[in-house]
Structure 1
Amino acid sequence: MSETATDIQQLSFEEAMKALEQVVGQLERGEVPLDQLIKLSERGAALKAHCAKLLKAAEERVEKITLDANGQPGGTVPTEGL
């Protein structure tokens, strides 16, 4: 549980999802002491928020794809901050 919020922000979507799945698995087994349960829950919430942020950014990038006259992808519109 030494992973900090900054460390979580450095994870890719796939890495964060894998870590979140591990947290959920531990919580579902129910064999975690209360103090560790709280830490796992906090970590899971941070991982979930990070995944949601990355997913939203990806969705926004997809929405920015432009179509040509034939309806085919013709390029992208630059997105602020990317």
Structure 2
Amino acid sequence: MPEEMTFEQALKSLEEAVAQLEKGQMPLDESLDCFEAGVQSANLCRKKLQAVESRIETLMKNADGSFMTEPFGEDDGQD
């Protein structure tokens, strides 16, 4: 079984699919195959970004000097 692409590989594959489709020079069947590959690459990118987002945590220092973690993306309403 082939190894899953990295985010960077999937993004490059998506960019290449978009570039090919934008040229508009492929036959319909090839265009459809290219579009399907692009959708798969986009889905893989989304999946990997969601996985990374769920892992990112921001360290917050408490008044007593200890550290706590806070899930990435949570806003406490302060700027």
TM more than 0.5: yes
**CA-to-partner distance for each residue in 1:1-56, whole Å, 9 max, x for gaps?**
xxxxx75x711101100111000000000001111011011111100000000001
The structure with the greater share of residues assigned to strand is 2
Higher relative contact order (CA 8 A, sep 6+): 1
Residue segments in structure 2 that go unaligned for 5+ positions in a row: 71-79
CA distance in 2, matches of 1:16, 1:47: 5
Residues 1:51 and 1:69: Cα distance change in structure 2 (over 3 Å): same
CA distance in 2, matches of 1:51, 1:75: 30
Residue segments in structure 1 that go unaligned for 5+ positions in a row: 1-5, 78-82
**RMSD of aligned Cα (Å):** 2.3
Percentage of matched positions with identical amino acids: 34
Give the aligned partner of residue 69 of structure 1: 62
TM-score by structure 2 length?
0.72
The structure with the greater share of residues assigned to helix is 1
Number of aligned pairs?
67
- Structure 1: 4+ residue segments shifted above 6 A: none
- 1:37 matched to 2:31: yes
Larger radius of gyration: 2
